[in-house]
Amino acid sequence: MKRCIGLVSLSILAITLSACSVTPKQYNPHESVGPQVHKTITGIDAGAGIMASTQKALTGYGLKQQDWQLQTSSTAAMCSQLEKSIRYKQPIVVTAWQPHWMFKKYPIKFLKDPKGIYGKSEQIDTVARKGFQKDNPGAYKFFQQFKWNPDLMGDVMYANFKGADPQKTAKQFIKQHPKEVAQWTAGVPDGNGKQVRMTYVTWDDAIASTNVTAQILRDKGYKVTMTAMEAQPEWSSIARGSADVTTAAWMPVTSGPLYAKFKDQVEVVGTNCPGARVGLAVPKYMKNVNSIEDLKK
């Protein structure tokens, strides 16, 4: 009898253990995607423009009406969720943008956006306070000439993602790209200690471009400060004139609402990175999900 009880409890233990270690459910292409992801899009921090655009997409594509929701998170948490899902071939829908290392690291694809809610094509602009050009024509000229591309930017972001110190990465970039740096600084006078107050949100692209431009200006003798803050205060501090410039305005759509709010007090200096893109993405093994419209099926 004792032995029998022992056996029973052993097998209960075995069942419990195997239930715990059961691998999570894989993506099933024969079932609709909504219930498989609990009708949830995994997003990032609430202040991001991509979150506001995604809310519009939920309504615009009729997903809100089907009880889809957008989960607030952070870039880091979203990416680790994505990594976990990919490890087990589970379904997941995330907010995504480029340039960013997520497209280098994970086998994911953008979903088509036939309604163009995230914009046809995005670019990253440099935005300054009104009056910056008059007060600091040298630094302004540099920012007018600063223009790179998603590849160069992606390299810097990836190095930072791998754990390098962003300032060290910037110094290395400068060393390895003398031609670009020479173009950006052509005709830019020495700073002689003149101040440049940069502001940014701690998103990977902003960390990359802020550190690179700040370092180039420092090398030219400017005294550059970099202040990290949320998107809303970032824009309002430029509008108020308590900061001079940011190199990370995603236009025209993603940062569009903030630009619209402050457009009378700020000025677009120029585009520093064309060819950006913003939207939703899924792992490539979700083969039959290719458009935001497919989420509804």
136 or 160, CB closer to ligand PBE? 160
User: Residues 27, 142, 184, 250: which binds ligand PBE (CB under 6 A)?
Assistant: 250
Which residue type occupies 232?
Q
3-state secondary structure (DSSP) of residue 145: helix
Is the CB of 262 or the CB of 285 nearer to ligand PBE?
A: 262
According to DSSP, the residues that pair with 129 across neighbouring strands are 266
The closest of 174, 145, 169 to 247, measured between CA atoms, is: 145
Q: Is residue 49 within the footprint of ligand PBE (CB under 6 A)?
A: yes
Pick 132 or 235: Cβ nearer ligand PBE: 235
CB atoms within 10 A of CB 228: 14
Site size with ligand PBE, rule: CB under 6 A: 11
Enter the tokens of residue 168: 């060290």
- Nearest-CA neighbor of 69 among 50, 41, 36, 34? 41
Task: Look at the block and give the residue holding tokens 């031609």.
Answer: 179
Does position 48 interact with ligand PBE (CB under 6 A)? The reply is yes
- Please give the single-letter amino acid code of residue 242: S
- Write out the two tokens for 229: 């803050």
Least distance from ligand PBE to the Cβ atom of residue 173, Å: 19
Distances 13 to 22, 26, 137 between C-alpha atoms, Å = 14, 25, 74
Q: Min. distance of Cβ 250 from ligand PBE in angstroms? A: 5
Query: Considering the rule CB under 6 A, would residue 278 count as an interface residue with ligand PBE?
Result: yes
- Residue 254 interacting with ligand PBE (CB under 6 A): yes
Interacting positions 58-97 with ligand PBE (CB under 6 A) = 97
The DSSP symbol for 89 reads T
Binding-site member from 113, 155, 180, 205 for ligand PBE (CB under 6 A): 205
Q: Which stretch binds ligand PBE (CB under 6 A): 14-22, 216-224, 248-256, 263-271?
A: 248-256
Q: How far is the CB of 187 from ligand PBE (least distance, A)?
A: 30
CA gap 293, 236 in Å, rounded? 36
Closer residue to ligand PBE (CB): 200 or 222: 200
**Amino acid (1-letter code) at residue 127:** V
Q: Does 50 bind ligand PBE (CB under 6 A)?
A: yes
CB 259 within 8 A of CB 251: yes
Residue 55 Cβ, how far from ligand PBE at the closest point, in Å? Answer: 12
3 state SS of 21? coil
- Kindly state whether residue 156 participates in binding ligand PBE, applying the rule CB under 6 A: no
Pick between residue 173 and residue 250 the one whose CB is nearest to ligand PBE: 250
Q: Which residues contact ligand PBE by CB under 6 A? A: 44, 48-50, 97, 203, 205, 250, 254-255, 278
